Copies of this chain bind each other. A is one copy, B any other.
Amino acid sequence: MPSSDVIEPIARALSIMSAMNQHRLSTISDLHRATGLPKPTVHRILATLISCGYVAKDIDRSVYMLTEQVLSLSSGYGKEAWLLQVGTPVARRITREVKWPVAIGILDYNTIVVQYSTRPYSEFVMQGSTVNKRFNLFSTAMGQAYLGFCEETQLQNILQALRDQEVQEDCILESDSKIKRYIAAVQDRGYGLRVGNRGESTHMAIPIKSDHQIIGVIGLSIFSSCFNDKVAKEYLALLRKSAGEIVDSMDKMIALAEHSAT
């Protein structure tokens, strides 16, 4: 009985790799015992994995080990991935509640990259998807949310990275005091804000912090004509509550995963 529509060779290869990850060196018999797969099959799968570069074979003995290339399957995995796994449903819930689109971004080098956006869910039509788009740290709400609330050392790293890049976009960088005032303004306000002109949209954003570290930012977009102090206050509270929920469930999930990894 072929258990539904699962491609068997793939499932087998993954179980082999998973087994190989338990001990650093494996023999064919080891894997045969660990996975229950017939030895010729194990042999063939290993040949495939070698050919793809994920496994190395000891030259004269028949001992196999994973290569560093396995990291290419998971190197991007970290807190940000958890953030998305937990954050996307929360973002959708906000949009269901207030209709406006919500986006989640993370820092990459010296820009904010939008990882997820509920724009398609929002009843208010805004321009195309922003997923994978990069946003300047100054002059965007999400960028402000990061700059304004990250730790001092990281702030300095980011500023250095910005100064190092070839094309200077932000002339604000020329003056330290200007930067300080800019960031202080964000901190006083308590959130990132970029007010758009009539017909454009206005954006507000706050950081998502875990352990004093910013793992991402969450922002909300709204038609500029609908924006005022009252809704700002309301949505800010909503964003803060949501960010807190995200961090809570994230920490719980991570603890759970680490616990069950034993």
Contacts and interface: CB of A to CB of B under 8 A. Distances in A.
Interface of A: 3-7, 9-11, 13-14, 17-18, 21-25, 44-45, 47-49, 51-52, 54, 56, 58-61, 63, 65-68, 70-77, 80-82, 84-85, 88-89, 92, 115-116, 120, 131-132, 257, 261
Nearest to A15: B52
A52 to B, nearest CB: 5
Contacts of A3: 51
B5 A47 contact: yes
A198 to B, nearest CB: 31
Nearest to A81: B24
A255 B60 CA distance: 27
Given A52-B11, A73-B73, A25 B89 contact: no
Given A6-B48, A6-B51, A68 B77 contact: yes
10 contacts: A3-B51, A6-B47, A6-B52, A7-B9, A10-B45, A24-B80, A24-B115, A68-B81, A70-B77, A71-B77
Across chains A and B, which 9 residue pairs bring their CB atoms closest together, nearest first?
A: A70-B74, A10-B13, A9-B9, A7-B48, A21-B76, A74-B74, A17-B73, A6-B51, A10-B48
A73 B76 contact: no
Count of chain copies:
2
Contacts of A70: 73-74, 77
A24 B76 CA distance: 7
B10 A72 contact: no
A142 to B, nearest CB: 16
Contact of A66 (B13, B68, B81): B81
Contacts of A13: 7, 10, 13-14
Contacts of A49: 10
Nearest to A21: B76
B7 A44 contact: yes
B74 A21 contact: yes
Nearest to A106: B24
B73 A77 contact: no
A257 B82 CA distance: 26
A98 B23 CA distance: 29
Contact of A65 (B24, B85, B120): B85
A60 B96 CA distance: 13
A51 B4 contact: yes
B45 A7 contact: yes
B51 A11 contact: yes
A89 B7 CA distance: 37
